[in-house]
Each structure stands twice: as C-alpha cells, then as structure tokens.
Structure 1
C-alpha cells in the first residue's frame, strides 16, 4: 500500500544535501555519531547516550468500529521512534497528559509493556483521557475529536523542563493548542528545547487551528512537515503568494527561516525543500494487510525526518527512511504497530560499546 496522509540555525538540526557520502552529525554531543548513513548495515553508535525524540501534545485512544487503540500524532511519533532507536540506547518519549481513569491506566500499562518512559505523562484528576472517534472514508481516516480531554491542560512542570533541556528532537502540532493552557506549555517546552530539532507536523484537524496559531507554531519550529491538502489550506491563511506547491514550500522556508519543509504527496512520494533546493523520494509500498489504514503514516514519516536530521544524513537518505517508515504504517492497521525487524535494520543504529 502506498501511504497518504489525511486531513533556523544549524544548532536546531539541518540536513546535508546530495546523495551518498558520509553523514556528519550537525548537533552537539546529544546526537548520535555513526559511520555511514546511506549504508544501514554500517551505521553504529559511538556514544553511551542515544537519541531522545519527544512527541509533545495530545495522547488519545483512537476508537474504531471494532477496536480501541493508542493514538494521537505525538504519541504515534514517540512509539515509532522508540522502536527505531531503542536498540541503540535511544528513546521515543511522550510528553502529554491523561486522566486518572481506566483509559489513562491502560495507556500507562501499554507504554510499560513497550518499555517506554512514562514519567513525562501527566495525570489529570478532573479531565478524562483523550478519545478520537475514527471512521474510514475509502482509505482516508475521518476524525471526531472528543472534548474536553486531559491534554487540554498540559503543564510545563519540572520533569518537562528537564526533558526539554536535553532532548534531541521534538515533534508538535496544532491540535493540542486548541486550549490556551496547553498552548502556553508547548511554547515554554519549545523555548527550553531551543537546541533540538523542533518539527512542526501541521496535522490540521477539524477547526482546531487559526492563522495566528499556524504563524506562531512556525516561528517556534526549526522545520515543518505537511501534506498537499494542508498546504492548500494554509497558503491563503499565511498569505503565501504562489500557485504551485514548490513555491509555497520555498516561501514557508524563507518566511520562517526553517531548516527544511517536507511535503508528502501520496503516490508522488515525498519532497524536502531546504536552502540548497529540493530533493524527492518516490512513494514506498509494502504488502497490504486486509484491514490496512493510513492512520499514523505521516507520523512515521516525521520520525524518519527527525532521525535523519539528527544524524546529519543527506536529504536523499533522510527522505528514503521517511518514505519506508510511512509506507509500512500505511500497509497495516492502526498507528502504533510493532515494526518489523527489517525496517528497524534500515534505520541501522546498533551499539558498538
């Protein structure tokens, strides 16, 4: 199945350009160093500390007709990232908030079973764990996001201050900012994480966004990812004066001084725009499960973009990883499946110490 998505300075992470060659880490000692990004079998860890990739924002349960599974873009990012980097000492981490209820306890148990950190998941005594009702229209998911939810009350507590100060990458979106309280916490986290890759995955949902929120998020970000439908929506909202997607991406890049803008284009693959121009990767397909959906495919692609950026991979290498992760997620049900060993090997991070 081919996946589709539904509806600054070098210290923030930047991508090398071109194909082949060696990957040169572009961040401080927080980033992994390794030998060759374009040859997954040759990549290796040379530091004791692995990458820390944070999904910041909503943590929910996706309620399908026949099952209830973990969801929410930041949560999906963290689960996928953890599987990709845990063997090398890294961690995918969720910074979110759940209710003191059955679903909240279920989420914590699920994370513990995946050997994932739970101490950055806050517990709310008054609001329920978030839920999203998901229905499929063809291959595209449609979402009904329940309100209120615990993630409407995110707090920048001491644990988050510590996490923001040493994480390598953080992925955030617009949905969790439907609440002013959570918006403030997200801003404070991103400000404290100024040395990390700060990827805005736009993920427009219902009417939980505005020109002001989009503009502010892009100012907080060091990079952005979106799909063609989202680009068409935000272009007039942000006064991007262009009639083609490449021009709009270039304007985003320049207007907000981003290190890159990634555009997912369904069957046309994925593009990456940076100061050196544009790189492209074709769509990647995997054998399709009978109940496959595209939920989480874009989140997995975001993981590939962040890993490649932290490792200093070329644009081509980074896009290839993003396309494979997104392509696999589109071939299976749900947004948080167990990744096959061959896909994790493609990431190629293994310890040598």
Structure 2
C-alpha cells in the first residue's frame, strides 16, 4: 500500500561548486541527492553550510530557484564556500581536487536540525563530509535521531580514514557504494581472501546491523542485497555526456520509489533509468521536469513508437 502522505528525507553534508574547464556547476553528493528527490516529489531538508561570499549566495539562489529550502543551510563567516576542481577524462570518468577546510567542514549541531532528522523518513549522509571533527560530530549526533539511515559511501582520497568509515557503517541501515569501495572496505575488515562480491556483502552483513546494500556498477548496472535476497539490474544504454552525479541520481530515484512502497523491480528500474538520464546530460543537476525524465524512460522502453526528441 502506498503512503497517503509525502515522504520526507534529510540530506546531510557537502554543498559546493564543481568547477569544470569551461563552466561552474552546483554539486556535492548530498545536494545532488536532494535535488533529484525534490524533482521526484519527495520533501527534502538539506543540512549543510556555505560561506558568506558570492559563491555561497549563488548556491543559495540555485537551491531556491529549484524549489529546495535553504533554511537549514548555515552561513560561515570563517570559511569559504567549497569549490572543487573537476576533470573529465577521455572515458567520461571524473576526478576531483577537493580543497579543505571549507564551510561544510564546520556544520554545527542545532535543535532545528535534530527536529528535522527525527521527523524525516530517512537521512542520507556520506563519508566526505565526515572528514573534519566539527561536521563529523554533528553527523554522529543527528544519526541517533534518525528513523532510517542511508550511508552513501564516497571515498575520495585522502579525505577518509578506515575508522571513520567503519564507524559510519555501524550506524547505517542501508549502504550504497561501488565495487571498488566495497572491496577496499572488505580489506580493512578481514585478512581472509574474499572470492566474490556476494561473500564481500555477506561479510558486511555479519559485521554490521546493515539491512540493505546497493552496489552501483556503471555500465554493468547495479545489484541490490538484503539479508534475504539478491537482485541484479541492468543499466540503460545511452550516450554518455559525463558521469558527474549519476550515482547520486540513482540513489535519489531508488529512495523516492522505496519510500512510496513500490516493488523492488520497479524501484531498481526507475533508479537505473535516472542514473542513465543524468549521465546522458552535462553536470549533476541539469534542469528537467519529472515529465522529461519519464518521457526518457518511455522512449528507451518503447523506441518503436518513434517519439520526437
């Protein structure tokens, strides 16, 4: 049975500008997830921090123009808004030069944040924003009030440590990560030889209270695990513009469908389509409507009808 109210999600962590060779675009995994959840009709609170500078003003304006609230985005007088140098390789992959400290390294705990988290259906948090003590301690405190905790692993060297990642895994209900991140974490946990992906996931389940694992695999699709089932799902064939934010879009669509109690196969199909849709465009947060996205799905599923672009 679907819910008779609009689900609400809190996204916690970095908000920034991805500075590409020829353009600057808004980004940061938590903001990307929030952006797409909002597009899909989910109520969102974004918890972050920007500086008292033009870059911060521009990010706040971007959020408001997209219908996202900036009420819980703090303004720092001591630290600048984050700007990340992003480079796109010949095979469309992205590398990042992430400067610190910046405003989102100093997100401070407030009772308003706690209230937002305690009332939400889920909180989404990543590993990057936990790199510095102030924001990390705020995150740890807020997680305690959450109903459902989604850990979006985002390992960007040198901005993580194994003890922090393991601490966050101990606090998560669902984990989303890619294959290389999974294998790296498993090497931290066990000296034993892990022969395949399923054994690696089983080790996560045995070490932590995690109930669900979502593994993104680029062109090879994604795999969902619970403690009872495994479900492999293919990706959509598209022409790649860049891969910035594609995993964030995938997660947002997955959560939007899950929180509306859609069947797993429908949920994974929607998530795969959203990841492909964003990969076919430039940047993590292109301007689109839900109609645009669902039209994309229709064209991919039923090309025989020859819908005009």
TM-score (normalizing by structure 1): 0.79
1:267 Cα deviation from its structure 2 partner:
2.0
Q: How does 1:1-353 map to 2 (within 5 A)?
A: 24=1, 33=3, 46-47=4-5, 50-85=6-41, 90-138=42-90, 139-193=92-146, 195=147, 197-239=148-190, 241=192, 242-286=194-238, 288=240, 292-340=241-289, 341-343=291-293
Q: Which residue of 2 aligns with 1:29?
A: none
1:344 Cα deviation from its structure 2 partner:
5.1
1:58 Cα deviation from its structure 2 partner:
0.6
1:268 Cα deviation from its structure 2 partner:
1.7
SS of match in other structure, 1:135: strand
Alpha-carbon distance in structure 2 between the residues aligned to 1:286 and 1:147: 35
More divergent stretch after superposition (138-147 vs 246-255)? 246-255
1:240 Cα deviation from its structure 2 partner:
7.2
Q: Is the 8 A contact 1:240 1:248 kept in 2?
A: no
Alpha-carbon distance in structure 2 between the residues aligned to 1:345 and 1:101: 39
1:54 Cα deviation from its structure 2 partner:
2.1
Q: Structure 2 regions of 5+ residues with no counterpart?
A: 298-309
Q: Structure 1 regions of 5+ residues with no counterpart?
A: 1-23, 25-31, 34-45, 348-353
Alpha-carbon distance in structure 2 between the residues aligned to 1:229 and 1:112: 35
List, as ranges, runs of 4+ consecutive aligned residues in structure 1 with deviation greater than 6 Å.
Answer: none
Alpha-carbon distance in structure 2 between the residues aligned to 1:266 and 1:106: 31
Q: Is the 8 A contact 2:40 2:253 kept in 1?
A: no
Over 3 Å counting, the alpha-carbon distance change for 1:282 and 1:60 in structure 2 is: same
Q: Which residue of 2 aligns with 1:20?
A: none
Alpha-carbon distance in structure 1 between the residues aligned to 2:115 and 2:294: 28
SS of match in other structure, 2:167: helix
1:338 Cα deviation from its structure 2 partner:
2.1
Alpha-carbon distance in structure 2 between the residues aligned to 1:81 and 1:346: 17
Alpha-carbon distance in structure 1 between the residues aligned to 2:202 and 2:54: 46
Number of equivalent positions = 294
RMSD across aligned C-alpha pairs, in angstroms? Answer: 1.8
Alpha-carbon distance in structure 2 between the residues aligned to 1:214 and 1:238: 11
Over 3 Å counting, the alpha-carbon distance change for 1:346 and 1:184 in structure 2 is: farther
1:161 Cα deviation from its structure 2 partner:
1.4
Alpha-carbon distance in structure 1 between the residues aligned to 2:191 and 2:47: 32
1:254 Cα deviation from its structure 2 partner:
3.2
* Residue deviations 1:184-203 (CA, integer Å, cap 9, x gap): 0011111111x1x3111101
1:342 Cα deviation from its structure 2 partner:
4.2
Q: Which residue of 1 aligns with 2:300?
A: none
Q: Is the 8 A contact 2:127 2:165 kept in 1?
A: yes
1:116 Cα deviation from its structure 2 partner:
1.1
SS of match in other structure, 2:31: helix
